[in-house]
């Protein structure tokens, strides 16, 4: 899957493109694990290019949250579309994450002390 | 190796091996089918998300490494999209899986059962049947449940 990435003042914004399902989730997970290994623990996931997410993708998000918490880092999610937000809500995942309307706001959130 | 018999338009039938490659092929064809349906975006996402859950369950838990096949049939009729998934794995009714506790704190979250809970929530109807030595799951979405962009009939 296509995964865009931008860095900004100590935070990394990861923007997957397309669908996050059981076929694409392993690539996204590998990408995020790579960031953690490189010491990047302030992470924004920008969902503006994501059509939908299934439980395989939720699993990747939960592992990211747990891994980042252990490293005393921060995760924030940005620009959840209707479908993505619905799945997060049904899974009871919204309370587990900082969710912002834009990648810029989410970046400010993970950079906050 | 994969010989899907496909007929794009208002219906789709395809048989894939119960592998990750087969799953990817099935999702790709389902996506193309949904594109032709001209369904509202959210309905399309619901169809694709539910199908991913169902197919991934079969590949990862039903068939595992055993050889088997998955047959996917999709059609549109009377304002409904119906998907029928038949697999050759051992008898298993996913609808009997207990729903996960979605209120636990992060550390205690378990994801087992979440997929099928999503299937229930993202479809209007879902039913299971075991016959001919296969598991049959039928998923239905009523397109009228969402506002369409115009009033044209099919």
Domains identified in chain B and CATH numbers: 11-145 (3.30.565.10)
CA nearest to B39, candidates B139, B126, B154, B122: B154
Chain A residue numbers touching B23 (CB-CB < 8 A)? 22-23
Q: What value does the mean pLDDT of chain A take?
A: 96
- Can you point out the beta strands (E) in chain A? 2-8, 11-20, 42-46, 50-53, 74-78, 98-100
B59, B115 in Cβ contact below 8 A? no
Parallel, antiparallel, or unpaired: how do β-strands B125-131 and B134-142 relate? antiparallel
* Closest-CA distance of chain B to residue A21, Å: 7
The answer to whether the CB of B54 falls within 8 A of the CB of B89 is no
Cβ contacts (< 8 Å) between A87 and chain B: which residues?
49, 118, 122
Does residue B40 register a pLDDT over 70? yes
Please report which confidence band the pLDDT of residue B38 belongs to, taking 50, 70 and 90 as the band edges: confident
Segment among A42-46, A71-75, B49-53, B91-95 with least mean pLDDT: B91-95
Six-digit token string for B146: 């969402």
Alpha carbon distances (Å) from B21 to A53, A74, B27, B72: 19, 35, 10, 15
d(CA B146, CA B43): 8
* pLDDT tens, residue by residue, A88-106: 999 999 999 999 999 999 9
**pLDDT (average), residues B57-83:** 89
Does A24 score more than 60 pLDDT? yes
When the pLDDT of each residue in chain B is averaged and rounded to a whole number, the result is 85
Q: Which domains does chain A carry?
A: 2-111 (3.30.750.24)
Closest CA to A21 of B121, B47, B102: B47
pLDDT at B145: 52
List, as ranges, residues 78-107 from A with C-beta within 8 Å of B. 82-83, 86-87, 90-93, 96
């Amino acid at each position: 899957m296509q995964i865009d990435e931008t860095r900004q003042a100590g935070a990394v914004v990861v923007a997957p493109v397309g669908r996050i399902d059981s076929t694409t989730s392993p690539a996204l997970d590998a990408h995020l694990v790579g960031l953690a290994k490189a010491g990047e623990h302030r992470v924004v996931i920008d969902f503006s290019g994501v059509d939908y997410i299934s439980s395989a993708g939720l699993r990747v998000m939960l592992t990211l949250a747990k891994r980042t918490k252990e490293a005393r880092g921060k995760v924030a999610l940005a620009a959840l579309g209707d479908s993505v937000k619905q799945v997060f809500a049904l899974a009871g995942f919204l309370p587990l994450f900082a969710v912002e309307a834009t990648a810029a706001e989410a970046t400010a959130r993970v950079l906050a002390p | 190796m994969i010989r899907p018999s496909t007929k794009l338009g208002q219906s789709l039938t395809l048989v894939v091996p119960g592998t990750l490659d087969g799953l990817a092929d099935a999702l790709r064809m389902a996506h193309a089918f949904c594109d032709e349906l001209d369904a509202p975006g959210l309905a399309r996402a619901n169809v694709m998300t539910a199908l991913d859950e169902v197919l991934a369950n079969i590949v990862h838990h039903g068939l595992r490494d055993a050889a088997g096949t998955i047959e996917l049939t999709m059609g549109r009729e009377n304002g409904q999209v119906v998907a029928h998934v038949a697999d050759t794995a051992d008898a298993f009714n996913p609808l009997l899986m207990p729903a996960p506790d979605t209120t636990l704190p992060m550390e205690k979250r378990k994801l087992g059962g979440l997929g099928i809970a999503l299937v229930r929530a993202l479809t209007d109807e879902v039913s299971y049947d075991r016959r001919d030595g296969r598991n049959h799951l039928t998923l239905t979405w009523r397109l009228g449940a969402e506002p369409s962009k115009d009033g044209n009939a099919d």
